[in-house]
Homo-oligomer: A and B are copies of this chain.
């Protein structure tokens, strides 16, 4: 499918991608770059890595496809760094959780860039948790800009589909609105709940059941990665928080005013949505 793919940032997503590409024989060679020497040394020993580079641009020379898998704030700077090393046909994508800032900035470079957001991951980050089946059955949102070539979009779609993903296409702005609601808001609620409970008596948590553990699992995610994501999607996230606060307020009012049928109706709406997931 591809001759040579460069993966910049072999963390959970990048390393899982390399594993999946190799397992399904989707490319001849995988070139890896990592900012950290220690990660480069570990990647060098992995059989999903054909060559490792100290500089991102060097890792991209002669590649058909470059996949940027670093934290969202570093994606645009990396794009600038690798631009001179790319051939005219190189396709570039990323796996960042926000898309508008990144895709609109990419327009200023002379590159073929199409944003991707595979909705796969885990609160356990890092190469050590990588697995080839991370992407299977999950959704991947592609966010091509207006001027993208259909052929390039098709190539990218086929790549994600080849590793088992369900591909959807959206504008970067619509993507950011959607994930603010289905990913960033749930994360924020889990983090806020945990930050709130952290102020209570430590013994309480020993009494918690599986419900609290599930509800808060995502709060164990890397705080720096999430701070960057929330800040890059600030306006959409603020709007999603506001919408949620209104909903919570109306449920609180129903409980406060003893309006049983309103309370029940909210719980039923919630169950219906959850059952449909």
Contacts and interface: CB of A to CB of B under 8 A. Distances in A.
A233 to B, nearest CB: 10
Interface string A245-277: 101100110011010100110111111111111
A179 to B, nearest CB: 8
A57 interface: no
A212 interface: yes
A27 interface: no
A264 B258 CA distance: 38
Interface stretch (A29-37, A38-46, A193-201): A193-201
A109 B234 CA distance: 57
Contacts of A220: 271, 274-275
A1 interface: no
State the number of copies, please: 2
B139 A207 contact: yes
A235 to B, nearest CB: 10
B119 A223 contact: no
A119 B182 contact: no
A120 interface: yes
B217 A214 contact: yes
Given A121-B209, A211-B186, A241 B234 contact: no
Given A119-B208, A209-B138, A197 B223 contact: no
Contacts of A263: 227, 230-231
A224 B277 contact: no
Contact of A251 (B191, B211, B252): B191
A264 to B, nearest CB: 5
B223 A271 contact: yes
A263 B224 CA distance: 10
Instruction: List 4 tightest A-B contacts by C-beta distance, closest first.
Output: A191-B270, A194-B270, A223-B267, A119-B209
